Amino acid sequence: MKLLEERILKDGVIKPGQIVKIDNFLNHQVDPALCKEIALEMVRLFQDKEINKVLTIEASGISMATLVALELGCPMVFAKKAMSNNISEDVFHTTVFSYTKAEDKNVIVSKEFLGPEDKVLIVDDFLAMGNALKGLIDLCNQAGAQVVGAAIAVEKAFQPGGKELRDKGYTIHSLARIASIEDDTISFVE
């Protein structure tokens, strides 16, 4: 998606360790007009699919996931980060390794809001190692829900998460696929 690639080049901030921060339009400050364009493109990419639930993880995915669900006319559920003492019988529970915080995070979804009747589109802002996405897929599997696919804003295509999950048969569409981050240059997959 040209619009998103251009915005990353314009406003993304490159940090050591091949990190690109998109804090000023997606991850902390949010440009809602860009989010809406991203959401419309995500819906277009999955337009031939039957989807009755959008799933994301707090917090950065919520803006886009809300707009995707609004467009699809279905509910959106956001998985919550939880303290281990907050994990009950009433929730599906998984762990997601966070590289930023170098620890496993507990992630939950209430059993009320995910079940075998659900055809789920997963929406998230970033895909790199794929840990968050694997966690969300795990929650869907526990619930017996069908994962229709995943719509991602920015994929670091030089990291293995996307390939690994596509090889397993998941449909993953990323709107901006970063091929490399070198010094101060970001290149996208053609």
Total chain residues near its own copies (CB under 8 A): 30
33 contributes a contact to its own copies by CB under 8 A: yes
For its own copies, the binding residue among 24, 131, 142, 187 (CB under 8 A) is: 24
Residue 4: phi and psi, rounded to 5, are -70, -40
Q: Give the DSSP letter of residue 134.
A: H
Closer CB to its own copies, residue 109 or residue 136? 109
Cβ contact 150:61 at 8 Å:
no
Strand partners, 13: 21
Stretch that binds its own copies, among 70-78, 128-136, 138-146, 174-182 (CB under 8 A): 70-78
76 contributes a contact to its own copies by CB under 8 A: yes
For its own copies, the binding residue among 6, 44, 75, 189 (CB under 8 A) is: 75
Kind and range of the H or E element at 128? none
Least distance to its own copies from the beta carbon of 150, Å? Answer: 19
**Residues with Cβ < 8 Å from 11, sequence gap 6 or more?**
22, 24, 25
CA distances, 176 to each of 32, 121, 147, 179, 180 (Å): 17, 18, 21, 10, 12
Stretch that binds its own copies, among 63-71, 137-145, 164-172, 180-188 (CB under 8 A): 63-71
For its own copies, the binding residue among 23, 160, 182, 189 (CB under 8 A) is: 23
| Centroid of chain to Cα 122 | 6
Cβ contact 118:143 at 8 Å:
yes
Q: Give the DSSP letter of residue 116.
A: T
Stretch that binds its own copies, among 44-52, 60-68, 153-161, 165-173 (CB under 8 A): 60-68
Instruction: Looking at residues 116 to 155 of the shown chain, list those that interact with its own copies (rule: CB under 8 A).
Output: none
Residues that bind its own copies (CB under 8 A): 23-24, 28-33, 35-36, 58-59, 62-63, 66-67, 69-70, 73, 75-78, 80, 83, 101, 109-110, 112-113
